[in-house]
Amino acid sequence: MFKKRRSLRVNRKMAGFLIAALMLFFTGKVIAHMEQNLRPTIISAALYYTDMLATEAINEAVREEIAENLSYESLVQIEKDHEGKIVMARINTREVNRIMSITTLKVQETLRSMEREVIKLPLGQALGSYILANLGPKIPIVMVPLGRVNTSIDDVFEEAGINQTRHKLYFNINAQVQILIPFIASRTEVVTQVPLAECIYQGEVPDTVINLQFPGSLPEKFAP
């Protein structure tokens, strides 16, 4: 009788163990399946979130420390005839190259400062849920600059009123970064435009003004 009871206890323990093992196995399968399905969504949300924060940081840094201290006249030299009409405009190449170099360094500095920060993205927000946006475990995101920053100056002419043309200058900034989340690494490109300066031309704008050619972009390792 004692042996039968002991054997029964052993059988029950074995059955319990097998049931627990099966539950863990199927639970692991379900979690792995969910993780596989959710991984693209989480990566996409992390890339979007990182791009948004990096773009805001770059725009703010460039506007406050560079763009606000610039004038249109320092970048574009205008020549007029004896009647005061604009006949030509030249790019101040040396000043433009200097500004692009400073901007590139500032963007690098901004991204390096963000590298020390761990961004926390709530899982609910990563899944695109408005109701659960701030709920769930927070996914840690680390952004790592990849050392590739390109800065260029572009321009556009547009109508500003009767017989008036506005000339706008702005930065094009392109930076390569990598994001790191648990067990996942992905690269992304942060692209942004920052207003630089503008000028309104009265009357007809000559072709020598419209066809301005700005220097090309400067990579991170630029020539002095």
What angle in degrees, to the nearest 10, is found between the helix axes of 2-65 and 93-115? Answer: 160
The total number of structural domains in the chain stands at 1
pLDDT by residue (tens digit) across 158-207?
887 788 888 888 889 998 888 887 777 888 888 999 888 888 888 777 77
Classify 112 as helix, strand or coil.
helix
Are the C-beta atoms of residues 78 and 146 closer than 8 Å to each other?
Answer: no
174, β-bridge pairs: 150, 191
What pLDDT score was predicted for residue 199?
A: 87
Q: Locate 173 and state its tokens.
A: 């900034």
**Distance linking the first and last C-alpha atoms of the chain:** 94
Residue with tokens 């004038």: 71
Average pLDDT score, the chain: 75
What secondary structure does DSSP assign to 106-155, as a single string? HHHHHHHHHHTPEEEEEHHHHTT-STTTT-SPEEEEEEEEEEEEEEEEEE
Q: Is residue 151 pLDDT above 80, yes or no?
A: yes
Q: Considering the chain, what percentage of its residues have pLDDT values greater than 70? A: 72
pLDDT in tens, 66-77: 888 888 888 888
Spatial distance between the Cα atoms of 205 and 212, rounded to a whole number of angstroms:
12
Whether 223 maps to a domain, the answer reads no
> Do the domain assignments include residue 8?
yes
Q: Has residue 216 been placed in a domain?
A: no
What secondary structure letter does DSSP report for 137? P
Q: What is the distance between the alpha carbons of residues 199 and 76, in angstroms, rounded to a whole number?
A: 10
Beta bridge partners of 166: 158, 200
Distances (CA, A) of 105 to 85, 139, 176: 38, 30, 14
The sign one gets for the Cα dihedral 143, 149, 155, 156 is negative
The answer to whether residue 89 sits within a structural domain is: yes
What residue numbers bound the domain in which 29 lies? 2-210
224 in any annotated domain: no
Each residue of 83-125: pLDDT tens digit?
A: 777 778 888 888 888 888 888 888 888 888 888 778 777 766 5
Q: Look at residue 156 and tell me if it is in a domain.
A: yes
Longest Cα–Cα distance in the chain: 123
Give a yes or no: residue 219 inside a domain. no
Read off the pTM. Answer: 0.69
Strands (E), the chain: 76-80, 86-91, 118-122, 138-161, 164-181, 184-202
H or E segment and range at residue 94: helix 93-115
Kind and range of the H or E run holding 83: none
